[in-house]
A and B are shown apart, each in its own frame.
Chain A
Amino acid sequence: MLSSLRKHAPVTLSLLAGAALWEIAGRNSDPAFLVPLSETLVRLYQLVGTHEFLVQFLDSATLFVTGVSLGILVGMPLGLLFARVRIIRVAVDPYIMTLYATPMVALIPFILSMMGFGFTPKVLVVFLFSVFPVLYNTVEGARSIKPELIEVARSYRSSERALWREVMVPYTLPYTMTGVRQAIARGLVGMVAAEFFLSATGLGQLIMNASQNFDTSGVFAMILLIGVIGVALMRFGLYIEQRFARWRI
């Protein structure tokens, strides 16, 4: 009891102190600069209640889910295929690494001027943000499959299909899930980037509107909301990753 109190007290205190600090600082500064926590929460409550918010939220969610799902659906099989054939893996490896490290935001202006403002270019942005982590980690995972495993399967005259089902996929899946976690995090960035820089829709539009109207409490409310969504998605990603982590040998 006492030890749990000792463990949780600093956390609770620090959260309370942070909230108090925000409140006090907000009350004593220019409202165009910083608004108190209470006002932000009230504004958030007002925003979330509106019909427009629901529409925009669903819009963002559709974009995010479509883009990230496509990233996973393309990245994983492609990664396994690359990994299965050694010569392909060696050949594509440096290029996947480079694309994984390249800041995809830099491609947004090109996508904008080639594809315009519709839904497809936005999905493309989220897809580009999320596919390379999945691809990269899947190839990394498949690279680390012990050759003995494949040799044993081969000596027992395992068919190619069985080899994939019994060795390749189970062995690589935990690595792919690390990629999925990164893809979720990056996909969220891609979603907001697409909504900021392509055409303003969804949550991105709400925050842009607030910023352009100098509605500081609206900006804070949206940042708080997207922050909470970010943390929740990160937790979800970690959960998926850890669920598969025990398969790692």
Chain B
Amino acid sequence: MADITTPLTRAPGRLDGLVSTDAQARIVCGLGILLLWELVVRAFAPAYVAKPTTVVMAIPKVIVDPAFLGATGNTLLACAQGLAISIVLGTVIGLAMGRSILVDRSLRHYINGFNAVPMIIVLPLVSLWFGYTSGARLATIVFAAIFSIIINTADGARSVPREYLEVARSFRSRRLRMLIDIVMPSSLPYFLAGLRLAAGRALIGAVVAEFFTAIGGVGYYILYNSRVFKHNEAFVGVLLLAAFGVGFEVLVGWSTLRFLPWYRRDEKAD
């Protein structure tokens, strides 16, 4: 951020004019973290432990490895399916809860309760129900993702400005039309906030399910490679997960700004 209030006393650096001081600080800090990591691992840890230089060297090999690509595809497909199920069911339940007091009062305790349960705890149950299959992973993903979508959509549907509905009602609009034309668009930003949380949780759900049931995917790739002491390869998997997490955040943030510029709201954390 280059602002005109920057004091003149600051010593001019070589990168001045190219990169702002803030960005310089960030880059220096990032390099410092990497250097520290490298040095600590070199000094104290066994050779197999991941360090920045060896991880970077492992990247070109890993990203063309068919096992890795297959694992990535598996995990992402499962996450996409789980999110699709969660979006459809979650929106329907969320809208019903937001617009009907009766539904809200009957379901609220269950939804809040399930949301507070650490999702990892369902693993033994889903593995009993579905066996050690990808069905167990899908069920874990849905359980991880659906509740934040329901809660946020319900919040959104509840907070529709009353005047909009009153105007629509005075023009004798039907309930379904009101739902589609007023309630849904105005709860969209809340839904997106919920989706953002849900996507992160879906990814975690997929990874823990793969750890638990040993079905193929990025989580299992990480588990397997770290067990055979190929930490560098395994760490590329972690980088991929982090990239997907951050990437989805950025995508949702961007589309909120781009398509719903009228909306501003404090983010709701988990």
Contacts and interface: CB of A to CB of B under 8 A. Distances in A.
A152 interface: no
Nearest to B269: A182
A156 interface: no
Interface string A101-118: 111011111101110000
A240 interface: no
A2 interface: no
B64 to A, nearest CB: 22
B121 interface: yes
**B-side binding surface: helix, strand, loop or mixed?**
helix
A106 B222 contact: yes
On chain B, which size bracket covers the interface?
A: 35 or more
B29 A105 contact: no
A177 to B, nearest CB: 13
**A-side binding surface: helix, strand, loop or mixed?**
helix
B109 A14 contact: yes
A227 interface: yes
Contact of B30 (A11, A95, A112): A95
Interface in B225-247: 226-227, 229, 231, 234-235, 237-238, 241-242, 245-246
Contacts of B223: 109
Nearest to B124: A211
Interface of B: 21-22, 25-26, 28-30, 33, 45-46, 49-50, 102, 105-110, 112-114, 116-125, 127-129, 200, 203-204, 207-208, 211-212, 219, 222-223, 226-227, 229, 231, 234-235, 237-238, 241-242, 245-246, 249, 269-270
Interface of A: 7, 10-11, 13-15, 17-18, 32-33, 87, 90-95, 98, 101-103, 105-110, 112-114, 178, 182, 185, 188-189, 192-193, 196-197, 207-208, 210-211, 214, 216, 219-220, 222-223, 226-227, 230-231, 233-234
